[in-house]
Amino acid sequence: MALLRSVPAVRRFGPSLLRLAAGVTVLWFLVRLVGAAPFEDGLRAVTWDAVVAAVTLTALTTVCSAWRWRVVARALGVDIGLPAAAWAYYRSLFLNSVLPGGVLGDVHRAVTHGRRAGDVARGVSAVAWERLCGQVIQAVVTAVVLLTLPSPVRPALPYVLAGVTGVAGCAALVVRGAARRGRPRLARAARAVVADLRHGLLAPGVWPQVTLASVLVVAGHTATFVVAARVAGCTAPLGELVALLMVVQTAVVIPLSIGGWGLREGAAAWAFAAAGLGAANGVAIATLYAVLMLAAVTPGAGLLLGDAVRRRRGPGHSGESRGPDPVPQTIEAVRGLPAIPGDRPRYAADEALDLARGRTARPVTRAVQAAAIRRRIRIPLRLADGYSTTATVVSFTGLIDAQQHVALELGRPAAARPPLVRLHSECLTGDVFGSQRCDCGPQLREAVERITEHGGYVLYLRQEGRGIGLYDKLDAYALQDRGLDTYDANLALGHRADERDYTSAAQMLHALGANRIALLSNNPDKGAQLARLGVTVATQVPTALHLTGTNAAYLATKARRGGHDLLSRSLERAAEPHRHAGPVHLETAD
């Protein structure tokens, strides 16, 4: 019975115990073979110059590794900024160096980023693909080097490569056959792998960056190993030394070690002994390299300590968004300015209209509170006219207005430079019921197709009736039927002409990593607000002009009073009493 009760524990801790046992076994064998003196020689060989060189090279390789991770994560839809990726990579390198197995730091990095991105599974997938890509490219570089330069494994390398290729091919055939025999988990996994490769990693803008970053990482690690070898007194020719060190680096990626110790020293002992340089020298060099790398990744320890201190102080000191913030009562509260008692919410769009009327507007700063991605869900879309596509719907936490805005990720935003973005305010009557009083529905339909082709986002903002709400919008329609235009109707109801504030849109774009965009809009206020909120609008792309006999006056008012980039003269003519009965569909020229 005791044995049966221990089975779950064995399943849970078995792999970790196996890695620990493998590392201990290799180290024990090496001590029996060469004694403890080579390990002591490696420790005594440490110099400040070597430490500085290792720290510098590791900083460069860490940035390149973070760059590779960022490219892969963005391709898979869980983007991360380069500085954040670099600090997270330092944390993972330190944890890999001090914990058994050599992979727990990568697990920490994957889960932490996945939680912050709102999708742990995609976060783990991004790290797994990033590590796999790096190891595959390292293997290719190693094979090229070993086939070119003299090394102990060069005669057998063609057979090794043929064997690896055969095993990989057989594994692929087994997975394919199992999927065809109706095993749903394998079939889903195979489809997910194919989708990640086809739409993410093999995209034209992704694989060249991943390849370059990985080659630079391999070069940096090899240079650090060469520094360790020279400092330890190895005088072998550089070409032979590089070939030997590539063999050692190949062994390092196998997760059977104690904080990296074990296979690295064993591979170095075998390679240097086979080359006639002595197993003891290989162990000494590997030991020195391990010490230098531990010193080089100590910034990760400082970052982890800082994380622990911030967690102990509480959420207010953590620097992270942990949930929705309370709704601000005024725009001054949003901007960090003192609130005026009794003042009602004021929006940046009002300030733009005030400027147009010659009034002084209160300044809008570039500082935007951070939001975070809450969840990502893929949804197939089929629009009313039969057009179909697939969108990844993204929800958020920490939005300044606490509204449930969503982003529709369409096409491949990571491959678009810059992504095309549409800020679309909710319109139940136009988007859902096809109202002809506005052009909202046709604009949304146009945006979905254009952004799918280019790659980017539709931000669907809960701002019905330019921010006044559905019922008041319907009341404004009644006033428009009595002769008021769309802006004066809002004013008559006690609202501002346009109450939309795009701070939440800027937060969403920052969370998505889209800090530089092409804006699909005719409304200059959208681009102006985003620019003030820290989003670079590289270009503003006009939408088509969706003109009908019943929305001509509305569009003419938007062009005349709202400054929208529309064909004003055509609209004014269409708004005359003798209007066209049927729809007119024009494209704006600029």
Q: How far apart are CA 553 and CA 579, in angstroms?
A: 10
What residue has token string 């430079």? 417
Bin 321: left if φ > 0, else alpha if -120 < ψ < 50, else beta.
beta
Residue 322 φ then ψ, to 5°:
-115, 10
- Map residue 421 onto helix, strand or coil: strand
DSSP string, 324-365: PPPPPSSHHHHHTSPPPTTPPP--HHHHHHHHHTTPPPPP--
Give the DSSP letter of residue 414. G
Q: How far apart are CA 77 and CA 200, in angstroms?
A: 9
Of the residues 376, 450, 500, 532, which is catalytic? 500
DSSP state, 418?
Answer: S
Residues in the chain: 590
Say if strands 456-461 and 406-410 run parallel, antiparallel, or are unpaired.
antiparallel
Among candidates 202, 206, 195, 143, which has minimal Cα distance to 414? 206
Torsion of CA 184, 109, 57, 213, to 10 degrees: 40
Contact 394, 140 (CB under 8 A): no
Active-site residue among 196, 498, 525, 565? 498
Q: Which residue reads 């701070």 in tokens?
A: 503
Q: Catalytic: 106?
A: no
Cα distance between residue 368 and residue 202, in whole Å: 34
State the Cα–Cα distance between residues 391 and 431, nearest whole angstrom: 17
Distances (CA, A) of 161 to 143, 146, 229, 255: 8, 11, 28, 21
Q: Is 500 a catalytic residue?
A: yes
Distance CA 409, CA 379 (A): 10
Residue 190, class by beta-carbon neighbours within 10 Å (0-12 exposed, 13-18 middle, 19+ buried)?
A: middle
Q: Which residues are known catalytic residues?
A: 498, 500
